[in-house]
Amino acid sequence: MKVLIPEKLAKEGIAVLEDAGCQVTFKPDTTPEELVELIPDYDGLIVRSATTVTREVIEAGVNLKVIGRAGVGVDNIDSEAATERGIIVCNAPTSNVVSAAEQTMALMLAVARKTAIADASMKAGNWNRSKFTGVELQDKTLAVFGLGRVGMLVAERARAFGMKIAGYDPYVTPERAASMGVELYTDVNELCKVGDFITVHMPKTKETTGMFGADQYALMKDGVILVNCARGGIMDIEAMAGFLESGKIGGAGIDVWEHEPVSDSPIHGFDNVVLTPHLGASTKEAQIRAATQIAEFVIAGMQGKAVPTVVNSARIPEQVMEHLRPYIGAAQTAADMAAQISSAAISGVSVKACGRIASEDPSVLGTAALAGVVQFGSEVPVNVINARYLAEQRGISVETAVEPVSESYPSYVEVTTRSAEGEVVITAATAPADKVRITSILGYDVDFIPGKNVIILQYVDGPGRMGKLGTVLGNAGVNIETMQISVRPDSNIATVLFNVDRAVSGRIQTDLKNVVDAKSAWFLEL
């Protein structure tokens, strides 16, 4: 797997790629022309905000499987062109949430207390205390547009300052908002009327571009303070200038711009405005998180595994993904194992979300399971972009269901594959670090974290069987990494699962089956 990084990236992210066996080309300051020339040789591309991934780049990337953005916004990537070619576009949306929330609070306080202009005055040799009288946050209403991770972190911090929180987000239920201490509004204009401070934390879309313009500014309280650390273009800067000049808007803290870099704008000359050059993610901690997270997602995409932050597929609300993200890999791995166990072509897949995750839409788990099924024996890379299409071509249907009651794990997924030979049922939960934990397979309860190479054997239980299997593998130089055996009180057949350090040859497979007279045997590569 070859990965190209054409701009600066934290060394910790490069280390993750290299530890996974990737061949990394780190070439900061790559020009657009160089990128087009280089990209045909690479399976993965990781960029930040300085590189524009155009249609020309994507079409030149004949081996490209995944484009990762080490950050949140993907405005610099032609996602439509990538989707047409089945290339995953993913981001690291949680890497800078704390940094963005803290930047929001920093700007809010700086504008409210006139910190920047007071600092400039002091450095000019002045002492004008009366000129810089500010306003307090306590007992003021903060209107938060966008109640995802960043918005909720801002609300949490603002409450610590004694602020009242009102919010707008079409994907958040009143119950969830109430649990976070937020009074939820369903109309943008109505919320504009109540905020002493207004902050926006929404993605830039057709609906949110220009969301705040002259009409909205006119509705706001006199002296309102605005903050935008989300995306440039959501607030109309040109219209804002007039309201700043009249005093209707008391001040603004702006970190993001519609066209970057920017050195001038209609609001650059106002003393009651604090401007920063897109610093929301500019902390050491956020840069490391962004680099390591996107490295992990790009590796998964190149391996044909589910990528939880894919942005060029059906959009899943952030609060839904927050609950389901750890189980996407569980659904795909369980389906992959079931497909390899089945002895006939798969005709259908059923996925059931059980326990706490039953409250969410399980369709994303169904897509992940389809990816697991169709990638087995596929000649093309499979991912959540093309999984449903490839499944339809094979005539594979998918059904999803929920089961709120779980007596075993707090949450788990049950995957069933159907073929002419019958059904294979596997359930999976998660282990620490979001690893997949198989909890039952073929009717046997287990607690097994599958690796890359898995052996499953079923045989009549009896003394000495495990020793014989170990001897066969040892003589062949195959190391057993983990092992689990499961029995049932209603059967004399035992099921044993091994993780081994390499794929086993046909001869070794035959020896393993013969030494214990195995009734069934499967040798899986995940």
Cite the active site residues: 231, 260, 278
Residue 464's region, left for phi above 0, alpha for psi from -120 to 50, else beta, is left
d(CA 247, CA 329): 53
Tokens 């504009």 -> residue: 192
d(CA 157, CA 102): 9
By DSSP bridging, strand 249-254 and strand 224-228 are: parallel
- First-to-last alpha carbon distance for the chain, in angstroms, is 16
Q: What is the DSSP string of 386-430?
A: THHHHHHHHT-EEEEEEE---SSSSEEEEEEEEETTEEEEEEEEE
Type of residue at 408: S
Cα atoms in the 13 Å half-sphere on the side-chain side of 11: 0
φ and ψ of 369, to 5 deg: -65, -40
Q: How far is CA 157 from CA 34, 151, 160, 161, 318, in A?
A: 44, 10, 5, 7, 20
In the DSSP assignment, the letter for residue 498 is E
Residue 221 tokens, joined? 């309280």
SS3 letters across 354-369: EEHHHHCCCHHHHHHH
- 368: which residues sit within 8 A by CB, 6+ positions away? 306, 328, 329, 331, 332, 335, 384, 387
Please state the separation of Cα 98 from the chain's center in Å.
Answer: 16
Q: How far is CA 180 from CA 167, 199, 310, in A?
A: 11, 17, 27
Type of residue at 433: A
- 14: which residues sit within 8 A by CB, 6+ positions away? 5, 24, 26, 291, 295
Identify whether the C-beta of residue 108 lies closer than 8 Å to the C-beta of residue 197. yes
By DSSP bridging, strand 520-525 and strand 453-460 are: antiparallel
Q: How far is CA 287 from CA 10, 16, 96, 257, 290, in A?
A: 6, 14, 8, 20, 5
Tokens 């530890």 -> residue: 19
Tokens 């390499």 -> residue: 502
d(CA 268, CA 282): 22
Please state the separation of Cα 30 from the chain's center in Å.
Answer: 27
